[in-house]
Amino acid sequence: MPETDMLRCAIYRGGTSKGVMIRENDLPRTEDQRTKILLRIFGSPDLKQIDGLGGATMQTSKAMVVGPSSAPNADVQMTFGQVSLKDASVDWSSVCGNMTSAVGPFAINEGIVRATEPLTSVRIYSVNADKYVTAHVPVKNGKAATEGDFEIPGVPGTGARIDLEWIDPAGSITGKLLPTGNPRDEVTLRDGRRFTISIVDAGNLTVFLNAAELGLRGTELPAEFDANKEIQTTIEELRSIGGEMSGLAPNPGMPKIGYVAARMGYTGLSGKKVAAEDMDVLARLMSAQLMHKSYMGAGAVCTSAAAAIEGTVVNALRAGATRDSEVVRIGHPAGVMDSRVIAHKENGETVIESGSFARTARRIMEGFAYL
């Protein structure tokens, strides 16, 4: 690859993540060629990503490829890639709900989708999950609006509210809402310890644990969790078991894993107090064995779906006062995130019609990355 090669791209913040947005037609078709280019753009593998655009964290080492959709009833399609810091790999198996919030604005700003003021609804097809997302994007002067009064924990200031609605999110990875057929399963580790887990596939495939069974409170912040190598090892073994039970080949990125606890007040990353009455459940999600500093968007869809399924770990720990509500308020390291789920019963089984949440996003820069 000649040193003069360059690729047109843009850097967007999407929710509590940041990544590089690339037009589909500007990349080669094959996955291995795309992987090589993304590794070069991000400066991976390198924990500092000093020679690329990556931000040296999992939340800021994300790529989103966007182009006209080959699927019916969609304006654009997106393909998400999680670029590794540790090795020369890109995980194409998952989705990122936070970065999905940047897809609509990117498509509008790039002229892929025609802007309609004051709100443009962009129908997005997720190649990774074979699912559809509708993004409702505020528009001003023909471009995606960025100014507004909507605030999300984990991002300084306010912005224009973007509502994301994941249509029929169940089975995004495995084809089943409950991959094992059970709302909860008992598993045994190599050392004989037993745990109760719930494996739910909606938005992202996630293994949910009860914080108490891990000897945790549920209020831990990333620095405390990330320093506990023993608990990380335990959680990684549980994650691997959950993946095997879901029928997946060994994969460092999928399934995701997290733990939940009954609501409790705590001090968030910003130093702000988070009150117990402002949430329905405490939750923490991990990526590459490290705790997410806020909450994954697709993870919020999965968490609210799990809360709607009787018998799951999440359903059991959700605050009883709001159990029948469509909205699940999730207490995470940076604050509280609302996730709405529409569900109904069909032949005794829970059907998830949609899961939705709100984010903000903005274009930070655009230009060329030199390869």
Q: What is the pLDDT of residues 121-134, one digit of tens each?
A: 999 999 999 999 99
Write b or e for each residue in 36-61: b if 16 or more Cβ atoms lie within 10 A of its Cβ, otherwise e. Answer: bbbbbbbbbeeeebeebbbbbbbbbb
- Nearest residue to 125 via CA among 177, 79, 63, 85: 79
Q: Which helix (H) or strand (E) holds 40?
A: helix 31-42
pLDDT tens digits, one per residue of 233-262: 999 999 999 999 999 988 878 999 999 999
Selected catalytic residue, list 64, 99, 254, 296: 296
| 96 part of the active site | yes
Lowest mean pLDDT among 28-37, 225-234, 246-255, 316-325: 316-325
CATH class of 185-354: alpha beta
| Structural domain spans, the chain | 6-168+360-370, 185-354
Range list of β-strands (E), 3-75? 6-14, 17-23, 62-68
Please answer whether residues 298 and 95 qualify as being in contact, where contact means their C-beta atoms are separated by less than 8 angstroms.
Answer: yes
Main-chain dihedrals φ then ψ at residue 144, nearest 5 degrees? -65, 130
Residue 262: per-residue pLDDT? 95
- Same CATH fold assignment for domains 6-168+360-370 and 185-354: yes
Out of 96, 286, 291, 337, pick the active-site residue.
Answer: 96
DSSP state of 2: -
Please give the structure tokens belonging to residue 200. Answer: 């739910």
Quote the pLDDT of residue 319. Answer: 63
pLDDT on residue 249? 86
pLDDT tens, residue by residue, 107-156 = 999 999 999 999 999 999 999 999 999 999 999 999 999 999 999 999 99
302 has catalytic annotation: no
As a whole number, the mean pLDDT across the chain is 94
Class of domain 6-168+360-370 as given by CATH: alpha beta
Would you state the pLDDT for residue 321? 42
